[in-house]
Amino acid sequence: MQNPARPQSPPQLDESAKSAVQTTKLFSAIVIVASLGYFVDIYDLILFSIVRVKSLNELGIIDKAAIKSQGEYLLSMQMGGMLLGGILWGVLGDKKGRLSVLFGSILMYSLANLANAYVHTLDQYAWLRLIAGIGLAGELGAGITLVSETLPKEKRGLGTMVVATVGVSGAMLGYWVGQRLGWRNAYLVGGALGLALLVLRVSVFESGMFQKTKESTVARGNFLSLFTNPMLLGRYLRCLLIGIPLWFVVGILITFSPEFAEALGVRVPAGEPAISAGLAVFWCYFGLVFGDFFSGGLSQLLKSRNRALQFFLAFCTLMVGVYLFGLQGATPTTFYVVCFVLGISVGFWALFVTVAAEQFGTNLRATVATTAPNFARGAVVLLVPAFRWAEAHLGGRISGAAALGGLSLLVAFWAVSTLPESFGKDLDYSEPS
């Protein structure tokens, strides 16, 4: 299909600047910093789920019902921060630059992590989760945008594959540190890792495409234009829908894995621990490492983002079916193996963000690449009550999850199938104001 109309192309770069953009190596400082930034991002994002109970216990919240309600309150503060931060950092990324967002977001969530280690009240914890959420919202979108705009179009998929593969492995470090070092020390480690990344700032340069657009008169970072222009809105909504199945799997199937294990009759031998949500998260994200590597590589092999996404959505559909209908009476080992393979099947997160970035012009690219993943993550806020409703009205936990998962996968498959193919697309253009 044809690229979108380009009525406001920015002025051309001089030859030296253009060459710098087109000859960036795959393992450049930009790719390394974006990868490590996403590593720390995922570390912090997962860490709260791992240390939630222990941290609340130490703050004096012991009752199970209170832990559940207060934990959901803290999570909603973090997710609310990510929704706000997605818009804030996205607009700033198109107005001020990708680098300012990349390092500004890392600085914010690193400082919030350090402060989190010293909280003594629930209110302090909640506000710092909000600030951390705002910071966490910016890194991935800015990193993917910067990598997409600086690598040659033939290597864009490989670059974002590296970012994702390195990044999601941060979940495994978060699990290990959270289990071994205590929750306060775990937050200190996360903050220190983020601040250490800022040292690498001197070796990273701004996107030449953004610099070109900045020198033009085209409007940049106009978030509202995504909703007032029907053509842009259609593309944007379809991008958002692609990410929903991942958060159905992580936010419903994996987060509530102890409940599903109980409903499926998973056989836990006497004396062994029950199914742990933290361990299910660990194995799922371990699978995501491989999934992101394979999905990025497959898109390069097929020379198609859309076909790679369709393959992984079909694979995800199969694994959701195995999880919900193939684990009756299974052992804990089998259950965790399925969580691992389920993680592989949803390992298209960076590919999803890459597609979102490639669908829009330089003046809106950071806005879309930053808001899309955060709005998709924020869908958990709607998915959880939708799951509870389906559980109550559609025949129970398993059938309710099957209905909700089937709907999210079907809609995502439609969205991918109707989006223009973006592999090898020239990104050097602007959207109409």
pLDDT tens figures, 395-413: 888 999 999 999 999 999 9
pLDDT tens figures, 312-367: 999 999 999 999 998 888 889 999 999 999 999 998 888 888 898 889 888 888 88
Average of per-residue pLDDT across 113-125: 89
Residue 26: its pLDDT value, please? 62
| Two structure tokens written together for 318 | 């199969």
Domains by residue range for the chain, with CATH: 19-201 (1.20.1250.20), 223-362+379-420 (1.20.1250.20)
Residue 114: its pLDDT value, please? 92
Place of tokens 């390092």: 103
Average of per-residue pLDDT across 107-128: 89
Residue 104: its pLDDT value, please? 86
Residue 211: its pLDDT value, please? 77
CB 374 within 8 A of CB 135: no
| 375 vs 312: which has the higher pLDDT | 312
Average of per-residue pLDDT across 234-252: 91
Percent with pLDDT over 90 in the chain: 20
Average of per-residue pLDDT across 238-246: 92
Average of per-residue pLDDT across 259-263: 88
Average confidence score pLDDT of the chain: 83
Q: State the Cα–Cα distance between residues 243 and 256, nearest whole angstrom.
A: 19
Average of per-residue pLDDT across 23-32: 68
| 75 vs 186: which has the higher pLDDT | 186
Q: State the Cα–Cα distance between residues 282 and 297, nearest whole angstrom.
A: 23
Single out the residue of 351, 368, 359 nearest to residue 311, CA to CA. 351
pLDDT tens figures, 36-81: 888 888 888 778 777 877 888 888 877 777 777 777 778 778 888 8
Percent with pLDDT over 70 in the chain: 93
CB 370 within 8 A of CB 362: no
Planar angle of CA 306, 92, 218, nearest 5 degrees: 80
DSSP string, 48-72: HHHHHHHHHHHTT---HHHHHHHHH
Single out the residue of 145, 158, 164, 163 nearest to residue 33, CA to CA. 163
| Two structure tokens written together for 188 | 């200190």
DSSP string, 184-203: HHHHHHHHHHHHHHGGGGGG
Residue 1 has pLDDT above 50, yes or no: no
pLDDT tens figures, 279-292: 888 888 889 888 98
Residue 214: its pLDDT value, please? 75
Residue 11 has pLDDT above 50, yes or no: no
Residue 266 has pLDDT above 70, yes or no: yes
CB 369 within 8 A of CB 349: no
Residue 201 has pLDDT above 80, yes or no: no
pLDDT tens figures, 82-116: 888 888 988 888 888 888 888 888 888 889 999 98
CB 309 within 8 A of CB 348: yes
Q: How many Å from the N-terminal Cα to the C-terminal Cα in the chain?
A: 22
Q: State the Cα–Cα distance between residues 132 and 134, nearest whole angstrom.
A: 5
Among the ranges 136-140, 176-180, 335-339, which has the highest mean pLDDT value? 335-339
Instruction: Give the confidence band of 21 by pLDDT, cuts at 50, 70, 90.
Output: very low
Average of per-residue pLDDT across 217-221: 77
